[in-house]
Amino acid sequence: RRARPLVRPRPGRGYSERMRFLTRKTDMVDAERALPGREEAMPVPERHVVLGTPLQPPFPDGLERAIFALGCFWGAERLFWQVPGVYTTAVGYSGGYTPNPTYEEVCSAQTGHAEAVLVVYDPAAVTYEALLRQFWEGHDPTQGMRQGNDVGTQYRSMIFWTSDAQRDQALASRDVFQERLRAAGYGEITTEIVAEQPFYYAEEYHQQYLAKHPDGYCGLGGTGVSCPVGLATG
């Protein structure tokens, strides 16, 4: 999938072509130039490979949804299905324009989507703040259109809030974590915090990928900076 790490190109033959390629991958497409997509939704497996729960609604009463993007969604999904109180997770695409995109289309940087994780959780068992902590500590939110060796608009950091309460907690957590990052020598957080947008499920082989392939690729790496539990108060 992403077998080749990003290598800084040397000046000379191929240098300009490589630079143009990387620029295209990190330039956001606009709605007018985005791929048209399709009406048919991606087939979705009935059950979560690890949790045994449904990947699609309807979900039991009382559960809430959270949606995050933090780089390669293989490793990102694993971060969240391991959290006690999480009912189910699924990977997909959000934040763009193309309806029901394919993985190849998203990787072309012509859909505007980020690789995202849907997290359905029991708020009586795990708080949204705890999920935010998992999000902030699970990747480097200062890298813009990349995450480690993975380069492109689909790897950008995003929080999609599904309620006003989630929005307020996400913004507060960003401000608190920014202080911690700055003290540790990191730059400004580039995470987009936006209202929930359509979530398009990814192909079956991407769902719970690292459970099916334990030695599979995972490009996520945190900063090593701890995000405080009391996010809103610091």
Q: Which residue has the tokens 């991958």?
A: 25
CA–CA distance, 112 with 186 (Å, rounded to integer)? 27
**Which tokens go with 101?**
């995109």
Pair 89, 81: CB distance under 8 Å: yes
Pair 126, 86: CB distance under 8 Å: yes
CA–CA distance, 111 with 71 (Å, rounded to integer)? 16
Percent helix, strand and coil across the chain, each to the nearest 5: 30, 20, 55
Catalytic residue among 72, 107, 218, 227: 72
Query: Measured in whole angstroms, how far is the alpha carbon of residue 202 from the centre of its chain?
Result: 12
Pair 87, 120: CB distance under 8 Å: yes
107 is catalytic: no
Half-sphere exposure of 72 (CA within 13 A, CB side): 22
Which three-class secondary structure state does DSSP give residue 204?
helix
> In 10 A of CB 213, how many CB atoms?
12
Q: Is the peptide bond before 58 cis (omega within 30 degrees of 0)?
A: yes
Q: Which positions are catalytic? A: 72
